Structure 1
């Protein structure tokens, strides 16, 4: 739109020069022709047809001198096409220069100067806008990268806090087990010994009550210690640590999606089966890829572990497979081992209680 307004201003100046002629029809035809050519050039900008139209219009000045008065408009188009020299054929007007009055030549020169000034101003403005747009895009990109970096840092910080919490829970569980647990165990033994050697019937009931209290305290502490220990097990991290020790010829893919409320005994079961499965794959599989999927469903937990080695039959049921079976059955779960030409598959399902 700005370009059309600029062209209108240049054409207005050119029209003043055209009005200085005695004819009425010639200026009108010239203006219409100039408008048509300029519009076509803008429509076909950047093409060979646009260049031809500008050059042909300039060349016509040698045959129709009055058309020279509209050359500033063509010059403006030539500037935008980055080929100002297309207007040079207009120099053929020199052979019929006497047809135009000095005032017409002066107005045409002024219009050409205005066209150059407008083009310089507008092109400079567009370059500035382009630079500002590029700068805005760069700033937007940097802000997006910074935002993503902040998210990654926040996740890393959350992981560090989570690991620190797990370590602290383990430490507390060990402290309770090693200190309070041992003291209570010794107290229970001492109370039992006192009950055995006691001959006073009046002290029998208080000693039995003391032993019951100590047993209850021991049971409570044992449950607390197990609870702290179970919560401190990071299933995904432990599996990843196990994967890191696998033979380098294997590419291991892990997909673990479980909640933080998974019981510790189920975590330990899954970890034990995964470790055993990785060990068996390293010993017996001729494949190079292992897939581990751990899922939590509304009614059960699931583990699917398979490699791409060729295994058509289980030659013998070793201690490793028996241990995995025992782990699953201890939690009322079900585990199957499926050999095939495409690999060996372990499927574990443990119901929620």
Structure 2
């Protein structure tokens, strides 16, 4: 983003410099022509007139080479002040006025100083007596001053326009980056919604169709017992039982296939946080890579049980659920500000506890079994707040 803005700004500055150079070259050519007219209008050029003319041209060329900055104005100012002592310097006044006005046109109070210096040689020349050449020089000097002012205004206007263009380009780049992030977030939400829907469908199939097929198998087995001794009926019932068992196995395989890719850890944890019954539940699941499906199901089950216990038994008002992705393992942390269970307050368990001892409920044992089935460990901390830590190594998953 910064590089794009810098390239655009550099291009704009190059364009400004190029346009300024062409415009100033044209203006100087016009003013130089007016000075030549003054030289010819003054009659036969004397050596002094030619010297003043050449000095004015040299001064203008030096100013053109150095560019527009305050110190450059010292050269034309010196020419004009020196020209107050010699009437022949009138021939170079338009050039000197153009350079001086160009140098001080946007310098605040220096504009008035420059104007006084520009007027000084012309005023002194006119005071010595009316002269057509001096009058023409005054008019040409006024035209040169207007050209310098116009050139400065155009330069400032172009600079402002290029600054606006650079700013707009910068804003467009920022908006494009934000649009990209929004599209990525939308794609993630769409995928998460699709995965959640697949999970819901898998559970409904498992709870609905699976229950019906299981009941059908029990009924067939009961019929087999009731018709024991009737070979033909028993053979038909055995075939029906085999078909129902195959259907149940196929249904379970399909459900597991859906469920293996149908659970997004972040979405599942946020759904649990919304419906767990705790006033404020903060979820931090910043893992860049989603854990495998068995790990995801295990972490979700542990978080569900821990949040349910915190709301039901601990009367917690705030809970924190954090998933950390370390190089060698995943860690789920579920902490709450509720009441610490009585079994965890014993001296042996003051700082940490390993589930499985007397006093632990079936929910805690179930969480322990789930985590240990994947080669992990479940720890319980009571300070500074009641916390469950589930750690599952990656190498076993």
Show structure 2 runs of 5+ residues with no match: 1-20, 106-110, 336-348
1:161 matched to 2:190? The reply is yes
Match of residue 194, structure 1, among 215, 223, 227? 223
Question: Deviation of residue 11 (structure 1)?
Answer: 2.0
Whole-angstrom distance in 1 between the partners of 2:195 and 2:135 = 89
- 1:71 — aligned with what? 93
- 1:212 — aligned with what? 242
Match of residue 253, structure 2, among 216, 220, 223? 223
- 1:330 — aligned with what? 373
Distance 1:326 1:110, change over 3 A: same
Question: Deviation of residue 176 (structure 1)?
Answer: 1.9
Whole-angstrom distance in 1 between the partners of 2:169 and 2:126 = 58
SS at match of 2:287: strand
Query: 1:1-353 alignment to 2 at 5 Å?
Result: 1-2=21-22, 3-19=24-40, 20=42, 22-39=44-61, 41=63, 43=66, 45-47=68-70, 49-80=71-102, 81-82=104-105, 83=111, 85-89=113-117, 90-97=119-126, 102=131, 104-119=133-148, 121-198=150-227, 199-240=229-270, 254-259=285-290, 262-263=292-293, 265-273=294-302, 292=322, 294-295=324-325, 301-303=329-331, 314-318=351-355, 319=360, 325-333=368-376, 347-352=391-396
- 2:6 — aligned with what? none
The C-alpha deviation readout for 1:275-326, integer Å capped at 9, x for no partner, is 7788999999xxxx989454386xx75337599xxxx983543549866553
Show structure 1 runs of 5+ residues with no match: none
After TM superposition, the structure 1 stretch with the greater mean CA deviation from structure 2, 84-93 or 2-11, is 84-93
Distance 1:214 1:251, change over 3 A: closer
Question: Deviation of residue 60 (structure 1)?
Answer: 1.9
**Aligned-residue RMSD, C-alpha:** 4.4
Question: Deviation of residue 348 (structure 1)?
Answer: 3.2
Question: Deviation of residue 196 (structure 1)?
Answer: 0.8
TM-score (norm 2): 0.67
After TM superposition, the structure 1 stretch with the greater mean CA deviation from structure 2, 138-147 or 74-83, is 138-147
Whole-angstrom distance in 1 between the partners of 2:62 and 2:307 = 74
CA contact (8 A) 1:334 1:349 kept: no
SS at match of 2:286: strand
Question: How many residues align structurally?
Answer: 340
Distance 1:9 1:216, change over 3 A: same
CA contact (8 A) 1:17 1:103 kept: no
Question: Deviation of residue 221 (structure 1)?
Answer: 1.1
Whole-angstrom distance in 2 between the partners of 1:275 and 1:306 = 10
CA contact (8 A) 1:251 1:290 kept: yes
Question: Deviation of residue 130 (structure 1)?
Answer: 3.5
TM-score (norm 1): 0.74
The C-alpha deviation readout for 1:211-234, integer Å capped at 9, x for no partner, is 111112112212322333343321
Distance 1:78 1:306, change over 3 A: farther
